[in-house]
Amino acid sequence: MGGRFLVVVACVFVCTGGAAYPAPFAASAVGQTPYLLVTGATATGASAETTIDVEGENDDAASAVLSIYVPSGYIVNLTHQSGAQIGTIASRAQALESSPGSVVAATGTIAVADKTDPGLQAAATRCTGTPTHAAIWNEHLVVSDQTLDVPVFVDAATGSETTFSSAKLVLCLPQPYAKTLPNYSPNGLRIIDMKAVLSAGVLTNPRSAGSFLWRSVITPWDLSGVASNTRGAAEAQSLVTVPASLSLKAKVRTIRPTRHGRKTVRNSVLLSGKLLENLRGVDGAKISFFTGSRSAGSVRTGTWGTFAKTIGLPTKMEFRATATVPARETPCASPLPATAAPAGCVSATTGGYKVGSDTVAVAPRRR
């Protein structure tokens, strides 16, 4: 798995002339096995850095169209001024024309573009069928010694999509297979993964607790590069549950053993708490303890999300805990109809995250 994205509709149109390169440079697959992974703020109504990955395999067919549906309840901030940077983007790619066996990294920024620009409106029409959008963002990617500017068209969901989505993303990528055909990607560049990290303030969580299903539909190119393979369009899902919370409490334990007729005092502290997603315990998550900047050990949560650890307490100390919850595969939920994703739902994940506790202070007993 690898890659991320968000509340937008994106298009890339790059046309290059020249001779076509032979079939061995093309991907071996005609379909795709994508993953979608989403992480963000862990509290209801909160806004934080939000990361959305769309991840593929090295031998998947190149993506032609990527549609992402943001769940109902999320709010997209469209008030940023033109030119403002609102995030970063990274991807893995293959240059099928020059080095098809190698994978290269591409990184860049996401900024607000001028939605009245005629060139962007023309690109919007080619990608989405209309020149008018609520906002346009621009992804500026640097790949080796080349750059790609990818316009991103932001819109509210419409029609039947409003039953499960508040906003929609459609990403149109150029074909990397035939240099003689229009919309050819420079050097046969094929994007494998896309990871967008949107800054805090761009996306706000729903105000009510619950589990929210992000959906994506990825349509591959036909290996000829002539058209997209609409029958190969597959759905990938990512489930985000909010709020996630980590509680921590401390209880001093004192032992007064007698040695050689003298009473001594030994202090320890029992650190305990619970990790919850939407008020339900999370099993098997790693809980790390810290005192200041130093590690104080770790444990795993039990069946109900509970944990406990005893630590020596020689002096007054402050403790905090962090929970690390990895992304987890899960069954697809209520897949889109075959008219929207003919290849069906091929993957689903529950998003991973980190969440911290409040700090607790505790002092040993001397007598």
* pLDDT for res 101: 82
Q: Is there a single domain that holds both residue 261 and residue 154?
A: no
Predicted structure pTM score? 0.84
Residues 151 and 208 in one domain: yes
pLDDT on residue 148: 80
Residue 337 inside a domain? The answer is no
Tell me whether residue 210 is in a domain.
yes
Q: Which residues contact 312 (CB under 8 A, 6 or more apart)?
A: 267, 268, 269
Q: Could you tell me the sign of the dihedral formed by the alpha carbons of 190, 195, 199, 200, in that order?
A: positive
What is the spatial distance between Cα 310 and Cα 296, in angstroms, rounded to a whole number?
10
* pLDDT for position 16: 33
d(CA 116, CA 90): 27
Residues 233 and 250 in one domain: no
Q: What is the model's pLDDT at position 258? A: 61
**Pairing label, strands 10-11, 99-112:** unpaired
**What does the alpha-carbon distance between residue 11 and residue 21 come to, in Å, rounded to a whole number?**
24
d(CA 295, CA 297): 6
- Looking at the DSSP bridge assignments, the partners of residue 263 are 258
The whole-number mean pLDDT for each consecutive block of 10 residues of the chain, a chain of 367 residues, reads 40 37 38 87 95 90 91 93 96 87 91 94 91 91 82 89 91 90 88 94 96 95 92 96 96 74 76 94 96 94 95 93 93 96 96 94 83
Q: Is residue 116 domain-shared with residue 194, that is, in the same domain? A: yes
Q: Which CATH number characterizes residue 273's domain? A: 2.60.40.10
**Number of domains making up the chain:** 2
Q: Is residue 336 part of a domain?
A: no
Which pLDDT score is estimated for 17? 34
**Which pair of structure tokens corresponds to residue 155?**
């819109």
Q: Which residue range forms the structural domain that includes residue 34?
A: 10-242
Q: Output the pLDDT for position 262.
A: 63
Are residues 236 and 286 both part of a single domain? no
Q: Within this chain, do residues 109 and 180 fall inside the same structural domain, yes or no?
A: yes
pLDDT value of position 236? 97
In-domain check, residue 61? yes
- CA 56, CA 92: separation in Å to the nearest integer? 9
Structural domain contains residue 2 = no
pLDDT for 254 equals 82
Residue 20 domain-assigned?
A: yes
Residue 94, beta-bridge partner list: 190
Which residue, 224, 242, 260, sits at the end of a domain?
Answer: 242
Residue 347 located in a structural domain: no
Q: What is the pLDDT of residue 266?
A: 80
Co-location of 99 and 37 in the same domain? yes
- The answer to whether position 136 is within a domain reads yes
Look at residues 214, 242, 270 and tell me which one is the last residue of a structural domain. 242
Q: How far apart are CA 26 and CA 229, in angstroms?
A: 15
Which of 189, 208, 242 is where one domain is finished? Answer: 242
- Same domain? For 198 and 159 the reply is yes
